[in-house]
Structure 1
């Protein structure tokens, strides 16, 4: 792939995940406008060192694996502020990155194969059931589609989809989430999520 603009964040975006962002820094306002104008995606990478808002002399360290983000909704409620909704599409490995004068990172990336649609094994069915319970609880509270933390269709029979949604919901450190994102085997990712849920007492 050609070099793409990068958006380092203190979070990890997973394929099919939703990501709302408020954009106010000039470097990202320009990037978002170009992405919208040309229907292009940008890369979300974990920020392992430094802060999201640029500061003079700050050192930033980027994660080695990220996810492409497609802007699906946007608005500009006032000058110098944009609100966007993004959808994670494909994982990538960051081969190299360079920061421009305006602070925007550009990265050479290599796309990672998408998860195969592997059924949830019987041993991990409790993980899918627990996620289904979360979705039902949110629906019973009449949470709107726009505010749901995951987007339909709910593929509760698919290992990678279930694992990714739990990775987004669980309060775990960014480096740990990046390791889960980098895991190529969706069933193994689901097993690791099961361990985390068990440790947190979230599985019956």
Structure 2
């Protein structure tokens, strides 16, 4: 049985971070290639693919080649603020994951790719032996709301909270923990939400998060 749902051609936005399904990402857009991309997305109600860089810079440099991971997340623009003609502030929401098949760089530097979209995580109830991941996540979210709000910070995801879902809980931990881009990419690529949460559970134990959050 294929894990892919459909194939589509989409613009890519290589970044030094990783977007997860149901995650929120705030972006400041100022390069011409991305200003044009965002205007088209807003006009058509379409999105773009966020992929994690593994070589090169986010901002285009003359003669520099960039490389990126093949699995990314489709982002749809939820808030659009054209601060200036050459500066947009956008808020994106992560949707479905995809795998890049082929890509090409247009003359303006925008990368366009043919991608296979990956099926959404199957619903898997958080098992009893992993309930701590969900319980502690709830406490962290509550603490963040109380303390982060005072500092003007926001969570990198929004309601509805699905504390009973392996995939959702694992993805939220990936956003909250101080992980390297490589580690985040590793978790993004895990097909099994149960395995992803198992690995997060082990990591939380190693990092002493359970003991720190009471």
Q: Normalising by structure 2, report the TM-score.
A: 0.91
Alignment partner of 1:194 is 2:201: yes
Distance 2:147 2:62 in 1: 45
Distance 1:142 1:95 in 2: 40
Alignment partner of 1:181 is 2:188: yes
Match of 1:140 in 2: 146
Alignment partner of 1:85 is 2:85: no
Cα offset for 1:146? 8.2
Q: Tell me which of 2, 9, 18 is aligned to 1:12.
A: 18
Cα offset for 1:140? 2.7
Structure 1 residue runs of 5 or longer lacking an equivalent are: none
Q: Number of aligned residue pairs: give it.
A: 204
Cα offset for 1:198? 1.4
Structure 1 runs of 4+ off > 4 angstroms?
none
Alignment partner of 1:51 is 2:61: no
Cα offset for 1:142? 6.8
**For the aligned residues, what is the CA RMSD?**
1.5
| 8 Å contact from structure 2 (residues 124, 194) kept in 1 | yes
Distance 1:116 1:36 in 2: 30
Distance 2:8 2:120 in 1: 19
| 8 Å contact from structure 2 (residues 25, 156) kept in 1 | no
